[in-house]
Structures are given as structure tokens and as C-alpha cells.
Amino acid sequence: MSKSYVVLSTIDTHQEAERIAQLLVEERLVACVNIVPKITSIYRWKGAMERATEHLMIMKTAEDRLSLLTHRIKELHPYEVPEVIALSIDDGDSAYLEWILSETRENPA
């Protein structure tokens, strides 16, 4: 079985998170996107301390879609340098992991 990944990305508005999530699911780059609203991010950007309210997108994808997903997030995202962090899923319910793989196939059976 191919590996699955959780991919994290933050974004400035809930509306943008939903727009991107919808496209990524439609394009079969992810099986699912959970949107966690209104998180506080504190970070340094271009030498200045920043504080922002953002929305966290938690995406599930297959290993063979990871590169395309990363590229697509960067195309769709309004940030100059969007967060795209991929975490390998080492273990989980086999039926759920199979669902991730089946929903991210380019040509589903």
C-alpha cells in the first residue's frame, strides 16, 4: 500500500481556505481537508515579529500526489511563501488509509 500524508497549511481567511479546499478535493489531490478556524500565529517575517489570525487546513493525500499538491497549493495560495508541511502517516486505520488512496487516484475505478 502506498503511504499517506497529512499536509498542513495556514491561510488568512476562512473563505480562501474553503475555496482552496474545494478545488483540491475536486482535483483529487486530497481526499479531505479539515479547516480549523481562527488560530493565532506568531512568527518573524522579513525581520519583524508578526501576529495574525489564520485558518489551518489539514489535508490528507497519497504519496504519489504530494508533489502535485504542493505545487497546486503554491499556485492557489495568496501568501508569498505559503506553509506546506507534509507529515507521513506511519500508522492508522487501514480502511481510512485505503479511502485516502482511493479518493486521490487520478482515474478512480
Strand partners for 5:
61, 88
Q: Which one, of 28, 5, 26, lies nearest residue 18 by Cα?
A: 26
Distance from C-alpha of 3 to C-alpha of 91, rounded to nearest angstrom: 10
Alpha carbon 31 to its chain centroid, in Å, reads 10
Identify the structural domains of the chain with CATH numbers, from first to last: 4-103 (3.30.70.120)
In whole angstroms, give the CA distance from residue 36 to residue 17.
10
Q: What is the pLDDT of residues 13-61, one digit of tens each?
A: 999 999 999 999 999 999 999 999 999 999 999 999 999 999 999 999 9
Q: What is the pTM of this model?
A: 0.94
